[in-house]
Structure 1
């Protein structure tokens, strides 16, 4: 049984996977901060409940701290941490995250990004400098990998007997050419990782990073059969409408898509609605939990009000501390 938690972390990304092997993968991080003493949030919850009744769930206003979230679920170490690409909304709080959890492997890209000034930025220059040290300093204790499309390696997609499988992570992108072009143009979305997670029981989950058109042109030319009719898609670029092509959806046809946070007018709802493809957003559900059991995927939300509106027969699962939404 593997489990995926898609966290509500402001306008950024953080996903963690507990694999069948017991290994833990975290893909990106945002809103990570040192855990403070617990506070009472009664008035916030009351306000959120009122807004939910009016139709605006507004969960993006109440993000979780990934460090606190993982710690409460007993996580103390991370086998692999993936920085999909070098944008700060994918590494907000990375320094504190690495100070809190023992990280064994880092997946990174061979990017050359520099940030001149953090004046007016909501992100921390300390986080950027910490990331640059991970990227540029070869004397780090952890293993840093820069993987390209089609990479094969022990533990992530090859098991201890040198057979296909491992943790089921298959790199669809980037390619060396995509990274090279991103470095030349200083536009790093198309050097993003796109990862196909094969759960071992025929289920396919795609993590889209911030991938753009050239990445998907490569994926559809190279891996069309692998990404046809996927079970779950973590929407590229949080689901934002960035003037891109969404024709890849006609191949993937995801049974469910998870959107991150952005202003509603910036999200590409129409690309999914016009194709009749279901979706759930962090702004609705808070954190979204995917539990793969046998040939069934069960989906849960940590926000009770949304769950009760989504499924009148919802129930609370004490293991996940979340409410059942549906099975696919």
Structure 2
């Protein structure tokens, strides 16, 4: 069980899991730079334009009195998943760092756009760290203390089960230079038997492997964090029919790239950061998981009986 924060961080990913063990897991970071953006006002129509109002995840964590990150998971080495990693590690004590054994290189003379080269350089430094944080290169099916085993070797602990990548997927990604194919995919099992999939930017090769080797684990999940922010390039042709998620969360991307039709054609419920801003899920409920969003206008449109809960800093919209 735990509380999941799916943060609105521009066109990128950042997820925070508050575990009952009091461990904090952060999966990816984006919009972590100390910048101030000024945008036009939000719309009250179907497009709520909340991607124009991203949060800085470092400030979000500081505001909630986080001091230590037990594990930081970098799903794969794309800049929209490590935008602010240097500031994150310098602001908080990070104990464990999950990293794929990718061989990606970046041209020092390239244009970095909205990203900071210092984040890439820092990433290269910490992934060879011999002290703190502890660097872990984990693969599908691995088990270990704290992430899915207790001190005495029993299943559970923080409930994180690795579905991908495999050594073969990483090797293929290093050869093809398509690093989405070596993305972590993590199944989070809650104490009340709910299943949540954190899909990173996983694409066809990854989901071909998962459906062939872990179909029972991913069948009929409760929540899916959509692969590749919900883009058409995420997943494969069959995965949604197997996962059949009760609710899917989309990140931010231009609408023409998002795969709305695959969800709509199957009658699958989905919410985007662009609609809801940040999305908070309390997995601890006896009757199900309570979902909150931080944008009031969307909450009232989604659920006219919504109410604000100070504990989660959001507006209640549904229970799964």
What's the TM-score, normalizing by structure 2? 0.96
Superposed CA offset, 1:176-233 (max 9, x none): 0000010011110010000000012110000000101111011111111111000000
**Match for residue 2 of structure 2?**
2
Q: Does 1:59 align with 2:59?
A: no
CA distance in 1, matches of 2:254, 2:189: 32
**Structure 1 position 246, deviation (Å):** 3.4
Q: Which runs of 5+ in 2 are unaligned?
A: none
**Match for residue 307 of structure 1?**
299
Match of 1:250 among 241, 245, 269: 241
CA distance in 1, matches of 2:273, 2:12: 11
Please list, as runs of the form range in 1=range in 2, the aligned pairs for 1:259-298 lying within 5 A after superposition.
259-292=250-283, 293-298=285-290
Contact 1:118 1:125 in 2 (8 A): no
**Structure 1 position 66, deviation (Å):** 0.1
Q: Does 1:180 align with 2:171?
A: yes
**Match for residue 163 of structure 1?**
154
CA distance in 2, matches of 1:186, 1:151: 25
Please list, as runs of the form range in 1=range in 2, the aligned pairs for 1:163-242 lying within 5 A after superposition.
163-242=154-233
Runs of 4+ in 1 over 4 A off after TM superposition: none
**Structure 1 position 321, deviation (Å):** 1.2
User: What's the secondary structure of 2:4's corresponding residue?
Assistant: strand
Match of 1:323 among 307, 315, 320: 315
Contact 1:34 1:67 in 2 (8 A): no
Superposed CA offset, 1:71-109 (max 9, x none): 111111100000000000000010001110110000000
CA distance in 2, matches of 1:248, 1:285: 25
Q: Does 1:145 align with 2:139?
A: no
Contact 2:204 2:234 in 1 (8 A): no
**Match for residue 116 of structure 2?**
124
Contact 1:7 1:288 in 2 (8 A): yes
**Match for residue 93 of structure 1?**
84
**Structure 1 position 243, deviation (Å):** 7.9
CA RMSD, Structure 1 to Structure 2 (Å): 1.6
**Structure 1 position 141, deviation (Å):** 1.7
**Structure 1 position 131, deviation (Å):** 0.4
**Structure 1 position 139, deviation (Å):** 2.8
How has the CA–CA distance of structure 1 residues 321 and 88 changed in structure 2, closer, same or farther, with 3 Å as cutoff? same
Contact 2:200 2:227 in 1 (8 A): yes
Superposed CA offset, 1:246-305 (max 9, x none): 310000000000000001111000010001000000000000001012341000000000
**Match for residue 31 of structure 1?**
31
User: What's the secondary structure of 1:296's corresponding residue?
Assistant: coil
